[in-house]
Amino acid sequence: MRLCVVWIMALWLPLAICAEREPVPGLPLPESGPALRLQGSNTIGATLGPALVKGLMESQGLLKVSAEITGTDNEQRIVGQTTDGRRVEIDIAAHGSSTGFAALKQGNADLAASSRPIKDSELKELSSLGDLKSPTAEQVIAIDGLAIILHPQNPLRQLDTVQLARIFSGEAKTWEAVGGAGGPIHLYARDEQSGTYDTFKELVLSRQGKRLDPTARRFESSEQLSDAVSQDPQGIGFIGLPYVRQAKALAIVDGDSQPMLPLNNLIATEDYPLSRRLFFYLPPQATNPWAEALVAFTQSEQGQTIVAANGFIAQTVQAMAVTPNALMPEGYQALSRHAQRLTVNFRFEEGSASLDNKAHQDLGRVFDYIKQHGKTDRSVTLVGFGDAKDDPARADLLSKLRAMAVRRELVKYGVALREVRGFGALMPVAANSEDAGRVRNRRVEVWVY
């Protein structure tokens, strides 16, 4: 079979494909050793990373693509074969996000997978590899939600983030202390190396000045933690969304937000209080074409389909109906009656009016949706929100200015906007009492008629 391919040489990825498949892969093969070494997050490396690697290898024309067990927990090798019989290997180690950055520093990885943003200390330690916070280096590959899970028979329906901190710090020792029933609480948590734990610590524990109770049972495996909670009527744990399995997920409240279950649309917009971004970090000084190709493949439509198939939230733009309710401002209710909201929120760098890296990636996706659905001419409304200010009029102004910042970018694509609005500090999705919550509340929604 034969394949016609138009190549982007910088990304080593096919753009257009003719009818037949060329059996020889387009990426160069190493003389020895793995073509790519991916290390880091267990959330990514357990299933999503291997699936993306398999997809890339198959797109390169490799045959007999499969996973091999290495004999070490949470490690696997994806192998394929060229038509002339050459073996191609990609190694994946999933011991936690921090191990990915450590492996980059030690030269033991080409690409780091992380279920949290890179820390300032890691950024400094890895500065010799280039700016890992640059748009090309920091790649949001999917959205995940941290689910708070219980035994399926536990009658509790919701908790707020303050209650969660009291529970997991050991201050609230019984279910009765948080409005439930069932006696002593049994805690289940991911291990210290886990990005899932880092995210929970940042979003829940550290915000309340608390530490994890040392009596909590710790797990390196997401699946094992979830299964243990589902078998313990007094258990509670936190887990990445794809690993809820047989357990029950709770609705979560943060500050003045409404209770939110970890539903796909709420996670896609990052409104759900415990939503998080999943990342690949590609060092700017990298010279491995397979690492560049995996990033490009992951951001493609085919890659995002694999993201969704593995239980994570793809960055695919869709329109969703919003049911108006009395808690919404009247202007927002009117909007929800006549338009649909896209499953993307634009957010900004902390302390800045500049769009963050994900927002820059999403601009192209949003434009593609607008163009494909014939909505480039006055069919799009942008709605800005912000954090509370002493002067509500200032909050209103700043929220509209954020929406105007997104408008300027969409105008560059040729989109004529219908309306740009700002609702100030109304409808918060996070607590305004600390920086992290204020950053989440500073957002711009996209609505289409």
pLDDT in tens, 285-301: 988 999 999 999 999 99
Q: Please state the length of the chain.
A: 449
What pLDDT is recorded for position 277?
Answer: 94
Largest CA distance in the chain: 70
Rounded CA-CA distance 369/365 in Å is 6
What pLDDT is recorded for position 20?
Answer: 34
CB under 8 Å to 304, separation ≥6 — which residues? 142, 298, 314, 315, 316
Rounded CA-CA distance 146/241 in Å is 6
Give the count of beta carbons closer than 10 Å to the beta carbon of residue 251: 18
Chain segment 88-105, per-residue pLDDT in tens: 999 999 999 999 999 999
pLDDT over 50 at 15, yes or no: no
Rounded CA-CA distance 346/127 in Å is 28
Judge whether 144-267 and 317-448 match in fold. Answer: no
CB under 8 Å to 391, separation ≥6 — which residues? none
Rounded CA-CA distance 22/34 in Å is 22
pLDDT over 70 at 401, yes or no: yes
Chain segment 22-80, per-residue pLDDT in tens: 334 489 999 899 999 999 999 899 999 999 999 999 999 999 999 998 989 999 999 99
pLDDT over 90 at 334, yes or no: yes
What pLDDT is recorded for position 194?
Answer: 87
Give long-range contacts, CB 8 A cutoff, 24+ apart: 76-84.
Answer: 76/50, 77/34, 78/50, 78/53, 78/54, 82/23, 82/24, 82/25, 82/29, 83/23, 83/24
Chain segment 186-242, per-residue pLDDT in tens: 999 999 888 889 889 988 999 899 999 999 999 999 999 999 999 999 999 999 888
Closest Cα to residue 269, out of 357, 359, 356, 343?
343
Q: Which residue has the tokens 């649309």?
A: 265
Phi, psi of 236 (to 5 degrees): -145, 140
Residue 369 or residue 256, greater confidence: 369
Name the CATH architecture for the domain at 317-448: 2-Layer Sandwich (3.30)
Average pLDDT, stretch 354-364? 96
pLDDT over 70 at 16, yes or no: no
CATH numeric code, 5-137+282-309: 3.40.190.10
What pLDDT is recorded for position 199?
Answer: 85
In eight-state DSSP terms, residue 57 is H
Chain segment 262-273, per-residue pLDDT in tens: 999 999 999 999
What pLDDT is recorded for position 434?
Answer: 81
Average pLDDT, stretch 168-178? 98
Domain map of the chain by residue range?
Answer: 5-137+282-309, 144-267, 317-448
pLDDT over 50 at 1, yes or no: no
CATH numeric code, 144-267: 3.40.190.10
